[in-house]
Homo-oligomer: A and B are copies of this chain.
Amino acid sequence: MFDALTPEEWEAVHLSLRVATAATVGSMPVAIFVAWLLARTRFPGRALLDGFVHLPLVVPPVVTGYLLLLSFGRNGPVGAFLENTFGIVLAFRWTGAALAAAIMGFPLMVRAIRLSIDAIDPGLEAAASTLGANRVFVFLTVTLPLMLPGILAGAVLAFARGLGEFGATITFVGNIPGVTQTIPTAIYSYTQVPGGEAAALRLTAISVVIAFAALLASEALSRRIGRRVLGK
């Protein structure tokens, strides 16, 4: 099965891995922060932020991709700013695909982390503060480690979602073999021609295998964390 892959398909596999990994890793700190804000603080506009985080789930991916194109394209307000200020270009680059994947996986990550935060006994944080830890230190040494199960679960969801992300990606960065062609965009092309099913299913099988490996790794890690965090 694997040796039947064309070099272009290999590139797509490689790129998909890169995109999904970058999306997961890159969005994690933001997701952790947002989840913490939503779970532990009350501020005006909190409901709005909460709703905003969920948007990528509700809005069809194609629309999300289109809105990304309008704002993060080189001529879009954010895109122009990023390019002029940091020299970062997203449009038609793999980084744009990673951004799309990150945004699509963001609500999943935030929710999982929030659930974990809600399950933390605030008494432990109080205990840490009586030991002299300020809010940041409490967060880093108590809250964050106890959030790990949620972070891990969120990461798995986001990674899987990133591997499967198609609509927003192709609308935002298109399908440039070797540059932005991920497995799903390659699969999509195959499904559009008569007789392409076999190739589409072959690529699908590959992403399933990758996701499975990620899942097994995360389960192993989560068992270790579970043992550590809950003393199980």
Contacts and interface: CB of A to CB of B under 8 A. Distances in A.
A59 B208 contact: yes
A118 to B, nearest CB: 6
A89 interface: no
A111 B55 CA distance: 19
Given A61-B166, A160-B107, A116 B114 contact: no
A58 B150 contact: no
B63 A208 contact: no
Interface stretch (A6-14, A21-29, A131-139, A212-220): A212-220
B57 A187 contact: no
- Tallying the copies of this chain within the complex gives 2
Nearest to A152: B115
A175 interface: no
A51 B211 contact: yes
Nearest to A66: B191
Interface magnitude class on chain A = 35 or more
A161 interface: yes
Contact of A59 (B60, B153, B164, B215): B164
Interface of A: 47, 50-51, 54-55, 57-63, 66, 107-108, 111-112, 114-116, 118-119, 149-150, 153, 156-157, 160-161, 163-164, 166-167, 184, 187-188, 191, 197, 200-201, 204, 207-208, 210-212, 215-216, 219, 226, 230
Closest 6 CB pairs of A and B: A119-B119, A57-B160, A58-B211, A60-B184, A58-B164, A115-B115
5 contacts: A51-B216, A57-B161, A58-B163, A63-B204, A112-B115
